Structure 1
Amino acid sequence: MTTLTIDVADLDSVKDSMKAAFRGEPQGCSYSFRSEERLLSILTANRWAILKALTGAGPLGVRELARRVGRDVKGVHTDTQLLANCGLIDKTEDGKLHLPYDEVRVQLVAKAAA
């Protein structure tokens, strides 16, 4: 099973992960935002529903995706354009939408102030 982990990480953490990957250490599949605010502005409830519908589904057209999430085609098209432009979902050569993972996890962590 392939899992995508969406989280928040600063640039130094991302660089450290890249260096570890170059050394051959498995890192898993991840997508990092620079801030919680950015993650939450991109992953709205409607866009999260799109990611859930695409998870493990194979490539889908916008109309089929809209049917699966119970929304209008124009709104789903707008949201999938944003998700594709930021790299969270892929578009196939024939224009279908694809998320090549069997599972998607979102990690947000709140810690007590030091």
Structure 2
Amino acid sequence: MATLKVKIESLDQTMATVADAMKAATGQIPLNGEFSLSFPSWETMHRVLTPKRLEIVRVMTGQGPLSMREVARRVGRDFKAVHADIDTLVKSGVIDKADSGVVFPYDRIHFDFEIQSAA
């Protein structure tokens, strides 16, 4: 089962993750099989993963490629608005374009972050 792990982490942490992925790709270290998407802040994550966009991801989870019209039908929303949300999700790396539409290539999504008190 493929899981997308969504994280909030600093640029340094993200760069370390990328470096590890590059080492794994060249065989220098074992591949951990983790798929992750990092955001620099809670605010940035919420600008991308709004409740309506998360609903799109939810209906796409484990479904294979879907047309944008089918996604709009499944979430019960206007095609134009869903198209704009899908465009944002594609540009952010949350979902992928496929020959036959768009796809969320994971079976589930896991959020992994902490919220700290203000200074």
Aligned to 1:74: 80
SS at match of 1:63: helix
Secondary structure in 2 aligned to 1:97? strand
Q: Does 1:97 align with 2:112?
A: no
The one-letter amino acid of 2:62's match is G
Tell me the distance in 2 between the aligned counterparts of 1:25 and 1:65: 33
Q: Partner of 1:56: helix, strand, or coil?
A: coil
Is 1:17–1:27's contact at 8 Å kept on the other side of the alignment? no
Query: Is residue 5–residue 111 contact of structure 2 (8 Å, CA) maintained in 1?
Result: yes
Gaps of 5+ in 2: 24-28
Report the secondary structure of 1:59's partner residue. Answer: coil
Q: Is the 8 A contact 2:48 2:92 kept in 1?
A: no
Map 1:9-88; keep pairs closer than 5 Å. 9-21=9-21, 22=23, 23-26=29-32, 28-88=34-94
Q: 1:110 to 1:40 in 2, by over 3 A?
A: same
Q: CA deviation at 1:90?
A: 0.5
Does residue 108 (structure 1) correspond to residue 109 (structure 2)? The answer is no
Q: CA RMSD in A?
A: 1.7
Give the number of equivalent residue pairs: 113
Q: Which runs of 5+ in 1 are unaligned?
A: none
Paired AA for residue 72 in structure 1: D
Alpha-carbon distance in structure 2 between the residues aligned to 1:110 and 1:34: 13
SS of equivalent to 2:110: strand
Quick check: 1:62–1:97 contact (8 Å CA) kept in 2? yes
Percent identical pairs in the alignment equals 38
